[in-house]
Amino acid sequence: MSSTAAPGKITISATAVKDPVCVMDIEPATATEQTEHNGQTYYFCSSSCKEKFDVNPKKYVGTSPLCNFS
């Protein structure tokens, strides 16, 4: 068995996305929750994160200076 990751390192796949609430890297295929907002699908690590997002999505969307190109 071989691995390209260094011992103790976590590798993130090319399909991983960030939970917009807790900023955890998650795989869309295994995300416990998801929702759509303004035509975009967002994935969450837990129902708690999804509930926080659903209450106030503007708090979590477009707040990163690296991702906000508008």
Predicted local distance difference test score (pLDDT) of residue 11: 62
Q: Is the pTM of this model over 0.85?
A: no
For CA atoms 25, 31, 36, 39, give the dihedral sign.
positive
pLDDT, one tens digit per residue, over 16-69 is 999 999 999 999 999 999 999 999 999 999 999 999 999 999 999 975 545 444
Query: Are β-strands 40-44 and 17-18 bridged in parallel, bridged antiparallel, or unpaired?
Result: unpaired
Question: How far, in Å, CA of 13 to CA of 19, rounded?
Answer: 15
Q: Which is more confidently placed, 7 or 26?
A: 26
What pLDDT does 55 receive?
96
Instruction: Show me where the domains of the chain are located.
Output: 17-59
Residue 49: name the closest of 67, 66, 68, 33 by CA: 33
Q: Is the pLDDT of residue 3 over 90?
A: no
CATH of 17-59, one of 1.10.3470, 2.30.170, 1.20.120, 2.60.40: 2.30.170
Report whether 12 contacts 23 (CB < 8 A): no
